[in-house]
Amino acid sequence: MELWLTETYGPIRGGWKAGGVLYSKQSKYQLVEIVETERWGKTLVLDGCMMTTEKDEFVYHEMLTHPAMVSHPAPKSICVVGGGDGGTVREVLRHPGVERVVLAEIDGDVIDVCRKYFPDHTSKLDDPRVDIQVGDGFEYLKNHQGEFDIILSDSTDPIGPGEVLFTQEYFALTKRALRDGGVLVTQSHSPWDPDSRLRNIRDVLLHNFSQAHWYGAVIPTYPYGWWSFFFASDKVHPLESARIERMQEITQNSKYFTPAVHDAAFAVPAFLARELGVA
Amino acid sequence: MELWLTETYGPIRGGWKAGGVLYSKQSKYQLVEIVETERWGKTLVLDGCMMTTEKDEFVYHEMLTHPAMVSHPAPKSICVVGGGDGGTVREVLRHPGVERVVLAEIDGDVIDVCRKYFPDHTSKLDDPRVDIQVGDGFEYLKNHQGEFDIILSDSTDPIGPGEVLFTQEYFALTKRALRDGGVLVTQSHSPWDPDSRLRNIRDVLLHNFSQAHWYGAVIPTYPYGWWSFFFASDKVHPLESARIERMQEITQNSKYFTPAVHDAAFAVPAFLARELGVA
């Protein structure tokens, strides 16, 4: 018998040879499953979408976290919205100046399941600087204005519980929750997705921030193998503000991020520059 | 009924929603098929492997061609080994200084089929500067020493007819077929492939050339969505030698390549730098 974990994204499909299903349970919000795959090890699948795996998670978590962390002059107070698998919190805490990380995850079951199946992802969740808030990130930010240097929007796709995290209302809220000169980073799907809303996401970000820089990374278990992010801020520029010493420090323990990779991520291919209106 | 074109690469699988099979015939060397896909349009499939499509081919062909073409001081005589779909020749001829392009393709049926189904790929094959040599590229290079400024190794994977194009013997041959200070570029699979021989390919290249620089590009229809190349030369350095005016000229009509993308492609992620021994 051959077992394959298969995910269909409109006109394309990804498949991963699987060893078996280790966990499967409907939470209050979504179907939470853990599948063992041959190439990527244990995999968290939410409502049928691969969210994180043991072996390729480093790309997503490093690239969601470090570009903002090495560019902000002194990031001390960080909020991760979503990110219940813990990987983003782990990367944030590689930066020694951090005093506080709030993890605002709506689905407590995801955190519990990941503590069991992803010990490396969740290795920093019990650090005393971490404040786990199980609940609606949207509501949390409403009640915590001007508190954060960096907000990392570690959301699922804009369907299901993550949908609200790509709206004007949400981005306006993140702006108010940031301190002066703060940075918002949000994941933003694959540029190869024909339904990608990258131009729209950029426009909405620019209603709230004076800069919104697209950047990319290769993530083999996400649709099309190429993923993207936006770096939004009024004062911090990812290429002009990044500190080389902090980049080199992070590179000592990174698997993907390097100073050259940081710069390279912000290079926009010609077709996408036209699509985004930045050519 | 739903039709899917599916390709399995060891522990992973890619699938593309298909409209139908337009052509299927065994050539002297391989099974040549054309399939219509929803996301990428017409697709050339050789022995079950997706080789090129109408809608994402620009990444591969631009990135195989332009990094060498903008870095060499005056590329006039070019040899494309493989590349029967014509896309690489089309990109080479975007550079006005080119006087001669040899296309050494082993399988004449591939050229004929692509002329019919890929008019854009093959649009420059009848240019008077193009010399189509149907036959073994290996043998061709043996008989044409010191003739080329750039050799573009536009091969299939190192199984099947493309196998010989990743050996010490082949790379030594390309070195002799190049003029002094020439550049060899070869495609080199996905760094995510657990059987990737990137370290080995680099070592073999360095037996023949004083420099061998890895670079990458995102190609959604190749395994894992992330593909790579090597740029080998004794005299030309892709970052130090590249001419900004030539890069800007090419960018006017490119879909992927830009001056920033050129530089960015050579940034090696941390895990890969360790694997290649360049960290």
Same domain, B12 and B114: no
- Measured CB to CB, residues of chain A less than 8 Å from chain B are 4, 6, 8, 10-17, 37-39, 56, 58-59, 192, 194, 216, 218, 220, 224-226, 251, 254-258, 260-261, 263-271, 273
Same domain, B107 and B9: no
Average pLDDT of the residues in A4-22: 97
Identify all chain B residues contacting A251, using CB atoms and an 8 Å cutoff. 270
Tens digits of residue pLDDT in B56-68: 999 999 999 999 9
pLDDT of residue A279: 87
Let me know if B8 is exposed, middle or buried by CB neighbors in 10 A (0-12, 13-18, 19+). Answer: middle
| CA pair distance A125, A121, nearest whole angstrom | 9
Verify whether the Cβ–Cβ distance B10 to A264 is below 8 Å: no
Tens digits of residue pLDDT in A173-184: 999 999 999 999
Tens digits of residue pLDDT in B72-82: 999 999 999 99
Catalytic residue among A154, A180, A193, A234: A154
Q: Which of B222, B226, B105 is nearest to B214 (CA)?
A: B226
| CA pair distance A8, B221, nearest whole angstrom | 15
Number of independent structural domains in chain B: 2
A24 pLDDT exceeds 90? yes
| Strand ranges across the sheet with B178-187 | B130-134, B100-105, B77-82, B148-154, B178-187, B226-233, B211-218
pLDDT of residue A92: 98
Identify all chain A residues contacting B4, using CB atoms and an 8 Å cutoff. 13
Query: Is residue B213 a contact partner of residue B276, using CB atoms and an 8 Å limit?
Result: no
Identify all chain B residues contacting A13, using CB atoms and an 8 Å cutoff. 4, 6, 13-17
Same domain, B48 and B142: no
Q: Which of A216, A173, A170, A176 is nearest to A193 (CA)?
A: A216
Q: In chain B, pLDDT over 70 holds for what percent of residues?
A: 97
Indicate the residue among A12, A28, A53 that finishes a domain.
A53
Q: Which residue of B has its CA nearest to A269?
A: B256
Same domain, B15 and B148: no
Same domain, A7 and A123: no
Tens digits of residue pLDDT in B173-225: 999 999 999 999 999 999 999 888 899 999 999 999 999 999 999 999 999 99
Same domain, A236 and A117: yes
Catalytic residue among B85, B107, B154, B193: B154
Indicate the residue among A21, A38, A53 that finishes a domain.
A53
What type of residue sits at position B217?
A
The alpha-carbon gap from B6 to the nearest alpha carbon of chain A, in Å, equals: 9
What mean pLDDT is reported for chain B? Answer: 95
| CA pair distance A170, B161, nearest whole angstrom | 54
The alpha-carbon gap from B67 to the nearest alpha carbon of chain A, in Å, equals: 14
What the block records as the tokens of B34 is: 């054309």
Same domain, B115 and B148: yes
Same domain, A69 and A192: yes
Same domain, B67 and B10: no
Identify all chain A residues contacting B271, using CB atoms and an 8 Å cutoff. 58, 255-256
Verify whether the Cβ–Cβ distance A39 to B11 is below 8 Å: yes
Which residue range forms the structural domain that includes residue B26?
3-53
Rg, Å, chain A Cα set: 18
Query: Is residue A34 a contact partner of residue A44, using CB atoms and an 8 Å limit?
Result: yes
Same domain, A65 and A126: yes
Q: In chain A, pLDDT over 90 holds for what percent of residues?
A: 93
pLDDT of residue B195: 85
Query: Is residue B59 a contact partner of residue B256, using CB atoms and an 8 Å limit?
Result: yes
CA–chain centroid gap for B244, Å, is: 23
The alpha-carbon gap from B262 to the nearest alpha carbon of chain A, in Å, equals: 9
Establish whether A149 is a catalytic residue. Answer: no
> If you ran DSSP here, which 8-state letter would residue B176 be given?
H
Same domain, A96 and A49: no
Indicate the residue among A11, A36, A53 that finishes a domain.
A53
> If you ran DSSP here, which 8-state letter would residue B192 be given?
T
User: ipTM of this model?
Assistant: 0.96
| pLDDT class of A62 with cuts at 50, 70, 90 | very high
Verify whether the Cβ–Cβ distance A12 to B8 is below 8 Å: no
Same domain, A167 and A245: yes
A164 pLDDT exceeds 80? no
What the block records as the tokens of A73 is: 């002059």
CATH code (residue A23): 2.30.140.10
Q: Which residue of A has its CA nearest to B218?
A: A226
Tens digits of residue pLDDT in B221-236: 999 999 999 999 999 9
